[in-house]
Amino acid sequence: MTDHDQAVKRTLEFLRKAGIVLTEEEQQKIEIAEMGLGHLEVEGLQLYTYVNTSRYCAKELVLFPNQTCPEHLHPPVFGEPGKEETFRCRWGTVYLYVDGEATVNPSVNPPKGKEAYYTVRHEIILTPGQQYTIPPNTKHWFQAGDEGAVVSEFSSTSRDEYDIFTDPAIKRSAGLN
């Protein structure tokens, strides 16, 4: 079994824990976003996109235990203000960090050795049933708790290829094969 296949299998286990069912066809379209960094368990994201049109987008985001989606923002694109997204926690705990006053004693820390690429420190803790909306062009990053997390994302059109990451080594289109 390839690394990609193992990550997909594990992603499906987390979705099942959250009570989310994907069809066989949908399961084949799960994206493993390794970000070109080579350490998916530390920095990366697993996701499934239900729909992404010129008006709206809906996704499921899966984070393995303590996995971090690196700091990034969704800039203005094609004269539009950038993606606005609402995260709704479905299972587990997710620690979301956004622009704002830094949290004095945050619940989690950026991955070791990568602290310079995690500049926003205002913490929002989401547990099942809680949600938060991130405005367009806002730096943010998020990390799962010890058990992992599943988050539904509802947003304006997603143009991930235009996301700007703080860490210049990240290649958003890079995934596991």
Q: What is the DSSP letter of 6?
A: H
d(CA 140, CA 126): 14
Residue 175: predicted pLDDT: 57
Beta bridge partners of 58: 51, 154
Q: Are 79 and 85 in contact (CB under 8 A)?
A: no
pLDDT confidence tier of residue 176, bands split at 50, 70 and 90: low
From residue 123, give the alpha-carbon distance in Å to each of 7, 16, 106, 108.
Answer: 28, 27, 7, 9
The mean of the pLDDT values for the chain is: 95
User: What b/e sequence results for 132-142 when a residue is b if at least 16 CB atoms lie within 10 Å of its CB, and e otherwise?
Assistant: bebebebbbbb
**Secondary element (H or E) of residue 148:** strand 140-155
Q: What is the DSSP string of 58-106?
A: EEEEEE-TT-EEEEEE---BTTB----EEEEEEEEEEEEEESSSPPSS-
Predicted TM-score of the model (pTM)? 0.95
Over the stretch 75-121, which tens digit does the pLDDT of each residue have?
999 999 999 999 999 999 999 999 999 999 999 999 999 999 999 99
Over range 143-170, report the average pLDDT.
Answer: 96
Average pLDDT estimate for 137-149: 98
The pLDDT of residue 126? 98
> What amino acid occupies position 110?
P
Query: Is the confidence at residue 137, as pLDDT, over 60?
Result: yes
Strands 131-134 and 45-52: unpaired
Q: Report how far residue 4's alpha carbon sits from residue 59's, in angstroms, rounded to the nearest whole number.
A: 19
Structural domains in the chain, sorted by start: 3-165 (2.60.120.10)
pLDDT confidence of residue 174 = 52
Q: Which two tokens stand for residue 11?
A: 């992603």
